[in-house]
Structure 1
Amino acid sequence: MSDVSSERLAELRRTFDAIDDSGDGFISQAEFLRHFPGLPGEAIASLEESADADGDGSISFEEFVRLVG
């Protein structure tokens, strides 16, 4: 995350927090689907596969930054 500017990190944090409906610090597949209902299941699965570095089934803020940063 060191190569991302502080302004970009703040923007990404706002976006992440808006998607993280539960406020638990992770984005689940269900939260992605609520915010992006038009995304096909395959796209969500692909997103999780590429972003979920630790394989825990949800995306942390750090993983989110690596994905969209």
Structure 2
Amino acid sequence: MKEKYQQYERVFNHFDSNGDRKISPSEIQQCVEAIGGELSLAEAEAAVEFLDADGDGLLGFDDFVRLVEGSGEEEKMNDLKEAFKMYEMDGCGCITPKSLKRMLSRLGQSKSDDECKSMIAYFDLNGDGVLNFDEFRIMMS
């Protein structure tokens, strides 16, 4: 964990071109452009406003860590959405006992209808007999 924060510190210091221990929207914009990306000043300002914990219009180190670690969360969420689509299969926006059984069978796990109903019931928070995405996300965490 300590190594990860040392890496974050190095990147933070690279962004912090004037050395004031804060990252401004223009510094974010410059760094994104330096790696070949595009980011308008308005987009950089919006990112800072969203992550700025103390309201000074700049990102401190803790704000920066949230920015970096938050991008991984989006990737995890996209992976979960893809997995959910594989299980739901019926296009109904939920995982039914039937679609769960079918997917588990494809994965080499033979389960009865009752076993699939029980698996779903354990995480079925609203009691409708199927798993919506939020229930699936909780199950996978």
In the superposition, the TM-score normalised over structure 1's length comes to 0.81
Q: Secondary structure at the match of 2:3?
A: helix
How far is 1:42 from its partner? 4.1
List alignment gaps of at least 5 residues for structure 2. 70-141
2:8·2:65 contact (CA, 8 Å) conserved in 1? yes
Aligned to 2:14: 18
Distance in 1, Cα, partners of 2:41 & 2:22: 19
The structure whose Rg is larger is 2
Identity, % of aligned positions: 35
Greater fraction strand = 1
2:28 to 25, 32, 56: 32
For 1:38-60, what per-residue CA distance to the aligned partner results, in whole angstroms no more than 9, with x for missing partners?
11334313311221111101000
How far is 1:8 from its partner? 0.8
Q: How many residues align?
A: 65
Distance in 2, Cα, partners of 1:13 & 1:33: 18
Distance in 1, Cα, partners of 2:39 & 2:10: 21
Q: Secondary structure at the match of 1:22?
A: coil
Greater fraction helix = 2
List alignment gaps of at least 5 residues for structure 1. none
How far is 1:34 from its partner? 1.2
Residue 25 of structure 2 aligns with an amino acid whose one-letter code is Q
The higher-RCO structure (CA 8 Å, 6+ apart) is 1
Q: Secondary structure at the match of 1:23?
A: coil
Q: After TM superposition, where is structure 1 displaced by more than 6 Å over at least 4 residues in a row? A: none
**What is the alpha-carbon root mean square deviation over aligned residues?**
1.3
- Superposed, 1:1-69 pairs within 5 Å as 5-37=1-33, 38-69=38-69
